[in-house]
Amino acid sequence: MDLFGETPDWATYLSPILTKYKNRKHPLAYENLYQLVVMVILSAQDSDANINVIAPALFEVYPDMERLSVTNRDALLPNISTVRNFRTKANWLIEIAQIIEKNENIPLTMNALTALKGIGRKSANVILRESNQPAEGIIADLHVIRVAPRIGLISETKDGNKVEKQLMQVLPKSIWGEIGMAISFLGREICRPKPKCDLCPINNFCAYYANEN
């Protein structure tokens, strides 16, 4: 229910941020699909900024799936040692590379991506969005998990899969592909833990803003 006691027209309410952030590239500084997949896996429980720092040197040594598939854990570890859970992620990356073998074999469906170690629905949604594939879900990163309940879109939960499921229930499929990143960018730039509500383009439809004013 919205502030007026009616079913919210969220597609219309959220259109300002869809316009503001439409087609903006993900903050991970990748140059191709292979790099995107590797960086998305490494960024789990870590910051995009940290992954962007280590990526250039990593990809000099491992420029593609073929090179990554023939390495071993001891050789890979020094290249990602500043990444959170880097030992586990090294295992995931090598296993994925050995399964995929070549860049052109990287799958681009939700089921195929999530069948790979280290790729959950959030990561798969990012890969599909950045690859301009049809949306099969909605990106629910830590910013979306914080911002979506604050706006009043969904009930609060820290479980990204539950957040995604709720969002898919209340938002039309026509905006699935962009709305996750739009909310994420809003959370990164404006709807911070201490939000800059006066700068928000959707504050007229925000439950938090209504309660604070």
Distance of CA 3 to the CA centre of its chain: 29
Q: Which domains are present in the chain?
A: 10-24+138-212 (1.10.1670.10), 33-130 (1.10.340.30)
Q: Tell me, what's the pLDDT at 6?
A: 63
Average pLDDT over the chain reads 95
31 Cβ neighbours under 8 A, 6+ residues apart: 59
- For 147, counting Cβ atoms within 10 Å of its Cβ (0-12 exposed, 13-18 middle, 19+ buried), the class is buried
* pTM of the predicted model as reported, rounded to 2 decimal places: 0.94
DSSP category for residue 79: G
With a pLDDT cut of 90, the percent of the chain lying above it is: 95
pLDDT class of 2 with cuts at 50, 70, 90: very low
Closest CA to 125 of 137, 117, 133: 137
Write the pLDDT tens digit of every residue in 131-172: 999 999 999 999 999 999 999 999 999 999 999 999 999 999
Which residue's entry shows tokens 């290249």? 79
141 Cβ neighbours under 8 A, 6+ residues apart: 122, 126, 160, 180, 184
